[in-house]
Amino acid sequence: MPDAKFAADNAPALSLIICTLNEGAAIRSVVTEIGEHLTGIDYEIVVVDDDSKDNTAAEVLDLGKTDPRVRLFVRKGERGLSSAAIKGWDIAKGRVLGIMDGDGQHDPVAIRALADMILAGDKDLVCASRYIGKTDTGLSFIRDLGSKAATLATGLVLKVPLTDPMSGCFMMTRDWYDTARPNLTGVGFKILVDVVASTRVKPRFGEVKAALRQRQGGESKLDIRVVLDLAALLVEKATNGIITARFVLFGLVGVSGAFVYALVLAVSHYLLRVEGALPLYRYQVRWDDIINYGLAIWLSMTWNFWLNNILTFRDKRLKGWPMLTGLLGFYFACSIGAILSLGVAILLKDYFGFHWFAAGISAALLSGVWNYWGAKALAWNQ
Ligand code: GDD
Ligand code: MN
């Protein structure tokens, strides 16, 4: 049976998704401007709001009262521009799917040009690009440089020669999008990269030159995590999904945790003096040692949990009480990982004849994979 929403006669030609996080200052004028420029085009706007703290949702609901083409979907407990966009396209009804920002940075004139181009029917994907010819990107020098570097790195992974793969303003046919939908990663900000890298079907594509305008109030959500997300996304796509973006982020956090471990160990070694020893079987284990190593393990595990919570799993970020139970789950998963690592190292060395160092590193990598799955299941309930 065909999906009801496609069979419906009133399916609009174009569904434009606007993802929002605290865009109450701009969303009304953005939606109004679009209406003024898309005259004669049968469209709908789906705003996917991640439970904004400001009046974004109220503004959209109000707009929807007088204009039924404007719909609101509120996600709770979830974050991320890419996953919000995917949600929007999942509930959209149009034959063409698009996306733009809710802060007024995307020029409605370019949106109109994109709509005309894709609705003409001979393209699968059309993007607004800041890098056709010499354009003012509207970015600070540093961000402009970063954006160009990211574009270059992305070009190596993508098969399609987009001049601006970082663009957050584009439109595509639902037919072409459907070929990418099963393979989407949904991590981070760069949804165009995600879509293009998730299908083997080469789109017939076009571009429209468009400079970014100034944001209308509110503030940008871009930070260092967006860059890490993109790097992780590219690894996932380059390895055909074998190494997932999330695992890359988890690994980066793990590396930082190793530094924390070393730091705590060194500091406590030089600062902490505790007399005495704990008699254990035929040995005397110095309290110093127990405390030094114990502190390093405990603090680095806690650091890892904290960083994973705001980076790797920030779309499912734990707060309040669940954060505490999540932390305990994380400790538990890592402890099993440590025991596993110990056993595997000895097994590899004594039974399989590995060099002692190779055995230790292999075992640690394996327990890293375990920790990832364990943490996912026990701490962030994925
Ligand atoms: N639902 C939802 N959830 N929306 C979000 C989230 C989120 O977690 N984070 C950001 N957004 C929304 C913002 O409210 C805004 O409408 C849009 O996504 C873009 O966010 P900005 O914070 O304005 O991003 P930017 O201006 O730094 O980035 C723009 O330029 C990039 C190219 O350099 C965007 O167009 C990006 O998509 C684009 O890649
Ligand atoms: Mn913006």
β-pairing, 125-129 with 170-173?
antiparallel
For residue 189, how far is its CA from the centre of ligand 1 (angstroms)?
Answer: 7
Counting ligands in written order, the one closest to the CA of 30 is: 1
CB-based burial label for 323 (10 Å; 0-12, 13-18, 19+): middle
Query: What ipTM was reported for this prediction?
Result: 0.96
Sign for the CA dihedral angle at 327, 333, 336, 337 comes to: negative
Position 9 scores a pLDDT of 63
Q: How far apart are CA 49 and CA 57, in angstroms?
A: 7
Q: How many residues does the chain have?
A: 382
Nearest CA to ligand 1 atom 35: 168
Report the candidate in 86, 76, 99 with the shortest Cα–Cα distance to residue 21.
76
For residue 212, how far is its CA from the centre of ligand 2 (angstroms)?
Answer: 9
- Three-state DSSP class for 265? helix
Cβ–ligand 1 contact at 148 (below 6 Å): no
Position 4 scores a pLDDT of 44
Q: What is the pLDDT along the chain (382 residues), one digit of tens a residue?
A: 444 444 456 789 999 999 999 999 999 999 999 999 999 999 999 999 999 999 999 999 999 999 999 999 999 988 999 999 999 999 999 999 999 999 999 999 999 999 999 999 999 999 999 888 766 666 778 877 887 888 888 888 887 888 899 899 999 999 999 999 999 999 889 999 999 999 999 999 999 999 888 888 777 877 888 889 999 999 999 999 999 999 999 999 999 999 999 999 999 888 888 888 888 888 888 888 888 888 999 999 999 999 999 999 998 899 999 999 999 999 999 999 999 999 999 999 999 999 989 998 999 999 999 999 999 999 998 6
Contact 139, 145 (CB under 8 A): no
Nearest CA to ligand 1 atom 21: 220
Position 354 scores a pLDDT of 92
- Three-state DSSP class for 63? helix
pLDDT digits (tens, 9 = 90+) for 30-87: 999 999 999 999 999 999 999 999 999 999 999 999 999 999 999 998 899 999 999 9
Give the pair of three-digit tokens for residue 114: 């994109």
Question: What is the percentage of the chain residues whose pLDDT exceeds 90?
Answer: 71
Q: How far apart are CA 71 and CA 91, in angstroms?
A: 10
CA 21, distance to chain mean position in Å, is: 15
Position 2 scores a pLDDT of 44
pLDDT digits (tens, 9 = 90+) for 199-215: 999 999 999 999 888 88
List strands edge to edge, sheet with 70-74: 70-74, 43-49, 14-20, 96-101, 170-173, 125-129, 205-209
Cβ–ligand 1 contact at 107 (below 6 Å): no
Residue in this structure with the two tokens 């046919």, named with its chain if needed: 173
